[in-house]
Amino acid sequence: MPEMKKPNRSRIKTQLKDVQQYCRFELETIKATPVQPIKHPVKKQDNPEPVLEKQSLPSPSKPKEPDLPDIPATLTIDTLSFTKSLAENGNAATIGLYDLVMEGHRIRFMDSFENLICLPSLKGIQSFWYQEETARKVLKTFRGRALLSDEVGLGKTIEAGIVLKEYIQRGMVKTALVLTPNPLVSQWREELSVKFGLDFPSTDDPEYKNSDDFWDSPFILASINQAKSTKNFSRVTDREYDLVIVDEAHHLKNRSTLNWKLVNALKKRFLLLLTATPVENNLMELYNLITLLKPGQLKTSAEFRREFMTKGDPTSPQNKRILRELLSQVMIRNTRALAKIDIPPRFAQTLRVEPDPNENELYERVIQLVGNINRTNGSGNRLLLKNLLAEAGSSPRALEVTLARVLAGKDLPADSRNDIRSILNLCRTIMGETGKNRTLLKLIKKQKGKIIIFVKYIGSLEQLSEFLSWNDIPHALFHGSMDNSAKDEQIRIFQEERDILVTTEIGGEGRNLQFCCQMVNYDLPWNPMKIEQRIGRIHRIGQDKQVMIYNLCNAGSIEDHILEILDRKINMFEMVIGEVDMIIGRIREEAEFEDIIYDIWVNATSEAEREKGFADLGVRLQRSKSQHEKTRELDKDLFGENYEL
């Protein structure tokens, strides 16, 4: 601490007396605050039993306390920030500054969280009463360690975000780690940034791979797979965090996995676990989750099995009342019945397009190119090859952009470079008159009302915009490289003046688009969660009309096969918001979904083998959906409405 200048002694003495009087007043105020009694409703009895004489009542026996293991705890009192704040440029604090510091610390350590000070700062978000009450209960009653198990689609992310933001604004969280499955990293980043004004560096950022300081950042958003890797495990667990949030926490159900071991090893003050299905196959999964939050809450594993599990049926609990009481101290599970959330249904229609001969030739040439490169150096070019196949399914312009960039490099052999030049020339001969564009034009002219058209690549957006302009279809454009004012203006134009919005994946983040109830997937992401995020732009809480989804794909393409298994096998497009990831997540434990798709496509030696690969994946998805439905019913039976607010 810097050396203080010596001010007038009499002045200091007067100031100290004022400080002493101020502190005494604060203490007396706290002591004088009455404790509010808890009022319980008295149940009226028609024929009350006669009251026994006082002498005849047996003496109440003290309930036996559970034999819990000793848990070492470290208490750290942060005095440095307080003392630093009482010195201004090396000088003793004035009474005015002291008052300001005391007010800040009073807010920081306020016992009551009834007033959520973060709510006015939230943007583009309508928090519902049950979400706010959940946050209050986590902060006030659970002391920042909770299992959030709302039913799918009720907004656990919003609840966790409110808790995070509240802690940050009160100065109680200065470091935080958010762990999610890899496909959800981008969604979390958008939610935190747009709705809560929190910009977390993430493992999706290009800088992540090139930065040695990433894991030293005060706030981190990471794929749990990246965090638990051999390279990163010790770096992640060696430091301390004020708050850790784990989404899709059912992936921590097995304590022998790296997922569980990672979260258990983290040094954290507060911990939020988010999952709609805390039990999938065995009550021990629930025990493992609660042990991360509050070790000993459900006793030892042996005691838990003996007291709360039924022999021969690992999903059937005994001593339900006691178990419910223990769980209610760490768990909140809001239901749709409580929240009274009613979102209209959504329906989908696949528009399967027969491509023109030159489009067919282009697609076959790309498949051949990808196969050749994969055989010579597939592992080193895996991401590039996946992009080429996906772009070929989107538009010739999207493919052209990447091929031109690849050709400018020097990493490919001469044969591949010649093939790329030939394919690039073919791309340039195919203008806007594609089969998909003609089908889209018919749809636009037939349908009434506003339509959002989603594309993945900026090249596809440009080509589609040119085609619509040639056909005198007024439209708005929205993409990530626009600044905020330009984005707002395009959304205004779409809402007030034009019926068509063409947008990239980032379309409408944080903006209210529920005035539209029709959308077109011009191309199809291989990751189902990306598809779900597109749909979620308009099919969300606040939508009052049924939503119609149109999927465009060329016959025989990868996207055609994906739609076959997602739409026709598991009816993905008609599911409740959030259910898709619960189903895909079971498959994703083996590999990322888009990697499964890629491997089926490039490793097949014939069309028949390719068909079999996709058929087998469809069976796995159907099995996963069936397991999810059983899990949903199990959790409904286990928890019901016993853990609502």
CATH architecture group of domain 119-339: 3-Layer(aba) Sandwich (3.40)
Q: What is the pLDDT of residues 134-176, one digit of tens each?
A: 999 999 999 999 999 998 888 899 999 999 999 999 999 999 9
Span 478-493, average pLDDT: 89
What ranges do the domains of the chain cover? 119-339, 346-352+435-639, 356-429
> How many other CB atoms are found less than 10 A from the CB of residue 111?
8
Annotate 572-614 with three-state secondary structure: HHHCCCCHHHHHHHHHHCCCCHHHHHHHHHHHCCCHHHHHHHH
CA angle 354, 356, 360 (to 5 degrees): 90
Question: Strands 309-310, 313-317: parallel, antiparallel or unpaired by DSSP?
Answer: antiparallel
Whole-number pLDDT of residue 467? 96
- Of the two residues 38 and 345, the one the predictor is more confident about is 345
- pTM of the predicted model as reported, rounded to 2 decimal places: 0.73
Whether 119-339 shares its CATH topology with 346-352+435-639 is answered yes
Whole-number pLDDT of residue 500? 97
Task: Indicate the DSSP class of residue 2.
Answer: P
In DSSP notation, 28-69 reads HHHHHSPPPPPP-PPPP-SSPPPPPPGGGSPPPPPPPPP-PP
Task: Indicate the DSSP class of residue 519.
Answer: E
Cα dist. 293→71, 123, 621 in Å?
Answer: 13, 30, 32
pLDDT bucket at 74, cuts 50 / 70 / 90: low
Q: What is the pLDDT of residues 21-52, one digit of tens each?
A: 555 554 554 444 444 443 334 333 343 333 33
CATH class of the domain defined by 346-352+435-639 = alpha beta
Q: What is the pLDDT of residues 90-121, one digit of tens each?
A: 566 677 776 676 666 555 555 567 789 999 98
- φ, ψ (nearest 5 deg) of residue 219: -125, 130
Span 443-449, average pLDDT: 93
CA distance 221 to 192: 10
Cα dist. 479→194, 455, 488 in Å?
Answer: 15, 10, 11
Q: What is the pLDDT of residues 380-391, one digit of tens each?
A: 789 999 999 999
Name the token pair of 631.
């899990």
> How many other CB atoms are found less than 10 A from the CB of residue 621?
21
CA distance 437 to 467: 8
Least confident of 60-64, 341-345, 486-490: 60-64
Name the token pair of 159.
């609840």
